[in-house]
Structure 1
Amino acid sequence: MELLTDVAFLSRVQFALVVFVHFVFVPLSIGIGLIMAINETRYYRSRNPKDEAATRFWVKIFTTTFAVGVATGITMEFSFGTNWADYSRFVGDIFGAPLAAEALLAFFLESVFLGIVIFGRKKVSPKFYLVSAWLVF
């Protein structure tokens, strides 16, 4: 029962739960992104309204999984510094740069093209929309 009053233990339990959710939702969103891009390719080629409806459905599912992945990823990144400060100081020079590059490249690039996929169907050309769907994947 003393463990439930130990702040370090509770912080690490929280981190474990965040990592679990993050590592479930990130691969899930990668797979759903592929499904979304394939459906958009089918719609681009056929112009069938059913394919467009399928793409819209998968975009909604992908957006939800992406949001959960972002929320847990940001929490996880800050938890490295708060829960393992000594470890972060020790490996920060090696681990910090790839983590920052992942946040800048993957998150921001994916966010820009996801914005196009969510809001840009009628605002950009069909070919650019298709490319955006593949870049989100």
Structure 2
Amino acid sequence: MSDVLLLSRFQFAITIFYHFLFVPLTIGLVILVACMETQYARTLNPTYRKMANFWGKLFTINFVMGIITGITMEFQFGTNWSEYSKYMGDIFGSPLAIEALVAFFLESTFMGIWLFGKDKISPKFRAFCMWMVALGTNISALWIITANGFMQNPVGYVVRNGRAELNDFWALVTNPYAWNMFFHNVGNHTL
């Protein structure tokens, strides 16, 4: 095994390790904070607001660290695994692009409103914002796991002109391996 391959694997393993430290806690905390915000909106009990603020700070730190390590990981697909990206990029990149365009923007928009509008928006809208962040976080997990599910159980593609091309998007989306991984991971993160 070449030194470059070994170093690439080592670098990617470290990146994945750090990324996955933040992901489970982020997915679990967003539901917890959304529930606390909802309870505060229903009861106006300041204890729930304090709890949401405390756990919300931890969620925000994890959210930001997950973004940083996730972007680093995506760059490594192009730098360390460029041949893989050339061969599988059209398929593997589709779910990641959907994740960025849909889920990440949903998460980021409502996270920004929740963070910077703390005293400017109503408690009900704060709860709504956090539930939208939770929805975006889970949609994000779904599309990332769909991409990973394709790597583990490739479906819906043909090899043409020396490259893999997606010929059945529905097969990619309904990949049973990806759905098993999604429910397993999100269920465990929420617990």
Distance 2:27 2:20 in 1: 11
Distance 1:125 1:55 in 2: 14
How far the C-alpha of 1:126 sits from its partner, in A, is 2.4
Matches within 5 A, 1:6-85: 6-85=3-82
Q: Which runs of 5+ in 1 are unaligned?
A: none
Distance 1:46 1:28 in 2: 27
How far the C-alpha of 1:12 sits from its partner, in A, is 2.1
How far the C-alpha of 1:78 sits from its partner, in A, is 0.7
TM-score by length of 1: 0.90
TM-score by length of 2: 0.66
Deviations 1:26-57 (A, max 9, x none): 12101000110011111111111111000000
How far the C-alpha of 1:127 sits from its partner, in A, is 2.0
How far the C-alpha of 1:82 sits from its partner, in A, is 0.9
- Which has more helix, going by share of residues? 1
Map of 1:117 onto structure 2: 114
- Work out the percentage of aligned pairs sharing the same amino acid: 56
Does the residue aligned with 1:122 lie in a helix, a strand or coil? coil
AA paired with 2:79? T
User: CA RMSD of the aligned region, Å?
Assistant: 1.4
How far the C-alpha of 1:24 sits from its partner, in A, is 2.8
Q: Which runs of 5+ in 2 are unaligned?
A: 135-191
Deviations 1:42-82 (A, max 9, x none): 11111111110000001100000001100010000010111
Map of 2:123 onto structure 1: 126
